[in-house]
Amino acid sequence: MVLGKNDSEREQAITIESDEQSAGVPASGELEGNAYNPLGNAGINHWQASYVTHASLDERNNIFFAAVQMTRMPMVVCDPNQPDTPIVFANKAFLDLTQYTEEETLGRNCRFLQGEQTDQNTIAEIRTALKENRAVAVDILNYKADGTPFWNALFMGPVSDQNGKLLYWFASQMDITERRLTENSFRQAQKMEAIGQLTAGLAHDFNNLLQIITGNLELAGQYAHAHPTLSQAIANAQQAAERGGKLTQQLLAFARKQRLEPKRINLNSLIVDFSEMLVRTLGESVDLRLDLKPGLPSCTLDPTHMEMALLNVLINARDAMPGGGKVTVATALMNDSERSGVHQLPPGAYVVICIIDEGVGMTPEVARRATEPFFTTKMPGTGLGLAMVHGFVQQSNGRLEIDSHLDKGTAVRMIFPVTLERAGASLHNVPTSKPDAQTILLVEDSDDVRQVTEKYLRSQGYIVLSTHSGEEALQLLDQHKKVDLLFTDIIMPGGMNGLVLADRVKQRIPDIPVLLATGYTEELANQNVNTSLCILNKPYRGHELTERINALLKPDKASF
Ligand SMILES: Cc1cc2nc3c(=O)[nH]c(=O)nc-3n(C[C@H](O)[C@H](O)[C@H](O)COP(=O)(O)O)c2cc1C
Ligand SMILES: Nc1ncnc2c1ncn2[C@@H]1O[C@H](COP(=O)(O)OP(=O)(O)OP(=O)(O)O)[C@@H](O)[C@H]1O
Ligand SMILES: [Mg+2]
């Protein structure tokens, strides 16, 4: 960010110090902008340009020199009257920050701090300011003597003699790496949250539409047996609707609203059990190595989704190595509170599963966007692979970390909390009911979904009482008494959702089986839902609904 005033404006606003030995132009709040300002405010009084009567750098016996050597703010002075504007003074804090010695520093242009990933536009901004003799404040990526990159909040301003002839450039630097990382991960988290909300909303509505499509196709199919062409057309449409259903499941996975069935698992065992499948997927040119930490503690994860996540990351690794190569799947234990802190995870023990390839790697831009849904550099690619992995890991209270270097390879780490207590009750507790029961109370707020489900259930021989709200469902129950199963949507507008309704119905008929339908499970997560409830994911096929209902009505034959 270039700031400051031209020479004539400067003259109007000069502060004179110490019997006219020096004078300066106050910053007057012009340091606002996106460059980091260490003052915590806009900065009014400090100078952005200065004028001195003594140009010498030799006077080093006064309090001001001592102050400059004592401050923890790095500072340099460069001489624009020598070729390439070399550093003529660097204070001790500058040496501490950059880890260079004074000998390595003096006489060089400050660009030696720049490197491979320093932004060229930022350098151009400095160049312009130097040419126009203006102060400048930028955040720039620099490198320490050992190659460690750091974000430098750089402020520079010109020092002239009383006639306005440029004598020196002064600069202060500050390491703001940690702040940048925190800000970036916060911004990234916010962005993902916003995309997640949008995706979840869309997928939820889309699921309802698909439910209507599949339901109606199934009904139509029942009447189309005599017409092969029509049957085929319906079957094709059904397949497309199924693919649409898979797509919405992927979107929900990204939005962290898929229905997970977490179990206590050992990641080493899961990897070993799954490795045959992985080897087959990777093909012959990729060499899969396992490096599993012995005695790895357990985590609580949905094993099927974990396998899918692993598969996605490994397929990416394979794609990144078109000529073949080595992929390592490693597990480790992480107890480092500093590292968990960087990921905004509470201190504690974590299991890390790391997939390392030697492939083409990613540019910083690709790495930054890799987990965005639909971001892909492949033809063809859906760009949903890492989005799903990210969603799954987040929903499992873990974190995804991607470390990639162009032409060197990529390491993808999934970090999950260790499970301490023993696993709890079984996932499905099938309620008992009368085997001859046939009346279903159907509650669904979407008219179309309700109508198609009602028609389907009737076609299967059930008596159906149907309504669009929990309140009305209770009234129906009071009127009819004989209801054998409640089938309700979970998410319904208004006061009573499917879970509350299930509770109320169970108060009246304690052993009534309940089947819940849902497009996504945010509500479940928020409401501490009992995992023993039977839940059917939308969009569901007619036969899936019948199977679930049969199993609930005849618990001895339950197969789930
Ligand atoms: C006093 C002074 C301090 C500077 N400090 C830094 C610095 O800390 N980091 C950096 O990347 N560039 C710094 N620069 C900028 C570079 O020295 C150089 O001016 C910039 O790269 C643009 O010029 P170039 O295109 O010739 O490289 C500083 C420049 C001056 C005059
Ligand atoms: N191991 C890797 N090495 C290099 N680039 C990768 C790696 N993993 C992911 N990427 C980059 O991230 C992008 C997004 O990955 P993601 O898995 O989400 O989608 P995709 O692989 O492009 O599509 P799909 O998973 O549907 O095949 C990829 O297109 C690729 O550019
Ligand atoms: Mg992929």
Q: Which amino acid is at 133?
A: N
- Name the least confident of 169-178, 237-246, 325-334, 523-532: 523-532
Helix (H, G, I), strand (E, B) or coil at 20: coil
Contact 527, 499 (CB under 8 A): yes
Question: In 428-558, which ranges are continuous DSSP H helix?
Answer: 447-459, 470-480, 498-508, 522-526, 542-553
Q: Is the model more confident about 300 or about 44?
A: 300
What does the pLDDT read at residue 3? Answer: 52
Cα angle value 18/23/28 (rounded, 5°): 120
Ligand 2 pocket test, pick from 318, 386, 405 with the greatest ligand atom count within 8 Å of Cβ, gives 386
- Using a 6 Å cutoff on CB, does residue 153 contact ligand 1? no
Antiparallel, parallel or unpaired: β 409-417 and 399-405: antiparallel
Q: How many CB atoms are located within 10 Å of the residue 28 CB?
A: 16
* Mean pLDDT value across residues 55-65: 91
Q: How far apart are CA 492 and CA 477, in angstroms?
A: 18
- Name the least confident of 141-155, 170-184, 240-254, 519-533: 519-533
The per-residue pLDDT of the chain, averaged, comes to 85
Q: What is the 3-state secondary structure (H, E, C) of 255-307?
A: CCCCCCCCEEECHHHHHHHHHHHHHHHHCCCEEEEEECCCCCCCEEECHHHHH
What does the pLDDT read at residue 107? Answer: 97
Ligand 2 pocket test, pick from 378, 400, 413 with the greatest ligand atom count within 8 Å of Cβ, gives 378
Find the 388 Cα to ligand 3 centroid distance in Å.
10
Q: How far apart are CA 519 and CA 538, in angstroms?
A: 5
Antiparallel, parallel or unpaired: β 350-357 and 399-405: unpaired
The pocket around ligand 2, CB under 6 angstroms, is made up of 312, 316-317, 320, 357, 359-362, 366, 370, 375-378, 381-387, 410
Q: Is the pLDDT of residue 251 over 60?
A: yes
What does the pLDDT read at residue 462? Answer: 86
Which residue minimizes the CA distance to atom 17 of ligand 1? 110
What does the pLDDT read at residue 261? Answer: 84
Q: What is the 3-state secondary structure (H, E, C) of 440-467?
A: EEEECCCHHHHHHHHHHHHHCCCEEEEE
* Mean pLDDT value across residues 162-182: 91
Most distant CA atoms of the chain, gap in Å: 107
- CA dihedral defined by 179, 180, 186, 190, rounded to 10 degrees? 150
- pLDDT tens for 77-125 read 999 999 999 999 999 999 999 999 999 999 999 999 999 889 999 999 9
Backbone phi, psi, residue 142, to 5°: -120, 175
Cα angle value 195/197/200 (rounded, 5°): 105
What does the pLDDT read at residue 32? Answer: 44
- pLDDT tens for 195-209 read 777 887 888 888 889
DSSP 392-429: HHHHTT-EEEEEEETTTEEEEEEEEEBP-SPP-S-S--
Q: Is the pLDDT of residue 12 over 60?
A: no
Q: Is the pLDDT of residue 217 over 50?
A: yes
Least Cα distance to 489 among 498, 502, 476 occurs for 498
What does the pLDDT read at residue 161? Answer: 93
Ligand 2 pocket test, pick from 281, 310, 316 with the greatest ligand atom count within 8 Å of Cβ, gives 316
The pair of three-digit structure tokens given for residue 436, joined into one six-digit string: 């001859």
Q: Is the model more confident about 338 or about 58?
A: 58
What does the pLDDT read at residue 314? Answer: 95
Helix (H, G, I), strand (E, B) or coil at 48: strand
Which residue minimizes the CA distance to atom 22 of ligand 1? 127
Q: Is the pLDDT of residue 507 over 60?
A: yes
Contact 457, 440 (CB under 8 A): yes
What does the pLDDT read at residue 200? Answer: 79
Quickly state the pLDDT bin for 259 (edges 50, 70, 90).
confident
What does the pLDDT read at residue 299? Answer: 94
Instruction: From the CA of 373, give the closest atom in ligand 2.
Output: 18
Least Cα distance to 139 among 191, 104, 166, 179 occurs for 179
The pair of three-digit structure tokens given for residue 234, joined into one six-digit string: 């319906």
Quickly state the pLDDT bin for 500 (edges 50, 70, 90).
confident
Q: Ligand nearest 74 Cα, by number?
A: 1
Quickly state the pLDDT bin for 291 (edges 50, 70, 90).
very high
What does the pLDDT read at residue 249? Answer: 81
Contact 254, 295 (CB under 8 A): no
What does the pLDDT read at residue 433? Answer: 36
Q: How many CB atoms are located within 10 Å of the residue 129 CB?
A: 22
Find the 174 Cα to ligand 1 centroid distance in Å.
14
* Mean pLDDT value across residues 304-324: 93
- pLDDT tens for 445-480 read 888 788 888 888 887 888 889 898 888 898 888 888
Question: pLDDT > 70: what percent of the chain?
Answer: 88
- pLDDT tens for 350-400 read 999 999 999 999 998 899 899 988 899 998 888 889 998 998 998 898 999
Q: Is the pLDDT of residue 331 over 50?
A: yes
Question: pLDDT > 90: what percent of the chain?
Answer: 44
Q: Is the pLDDT of residue 2 over 80?
A: no
